[in-house]
Amino acid sequence: MAFKRNLAVLLFACFLILAAEVQFNQAVERRFEDSPRYKECVESCIQDINARMKERGQSLDDHYVQDKCQDDCKPPSDEDPGYPGNLEDNPLRS
């Protein structure tokens, strides 16, 4: 009986830790997405891609370009949230 109670307490504690981690990660992501540096990175990326596509006489879906730029401007998970992304590795901007 004590084993079941201890197991239940342990599982509940793990659940609380996981829930706290998820909330923390969401808060960090929201803070980063509100930063002027991130917004500037996304806007610049969108303008660069649209200009390159226009030069080629092509176009891409606006939502695709925005999603691509938002992903490219996010830091790798192990980097500091202030980092604007590794734009040099973005094939659409080369």
- Identify which of 24, 54, 51 has the alpha carbon closest to the alpha carbon of residue 69: 51
- Identify which of 23, 89, 79 has the alpha carbon closest to the alpha carbon of residue 68: 89
Model confidence at 91: pLDDT above 70: no
- Tokens 């992304």, residue located: 85
Asked if residues 36 and 52 have their Cβ atoms less than 8 Å apart, the reply is no
Secondary structure (3-state) at 75? coil
For residues 76 and 7, give the distance between their C-alpha atoms in angstroms, rounded to a whole number: 36
Model confidence at 6: pLDDT above 50: yes
> pTM value?
0.52
Question: How many angstroms from the chain centroid is the CA of residue 8?
Answer: 34
**Domain spans of the chain?**
1-34, 35-94
Mean pLDDT of the 62-78 span: 83
pLDDT tens for each residue of 19-57: 998 888 887 777 777 788 888 999 999 999 999 999 999
Q: What is the pLDDT of residue 92?
A: 47
Mean pLDDT of the 52-71 span: 90
Percent of the chain whose pLDDT exceeds 90: 37
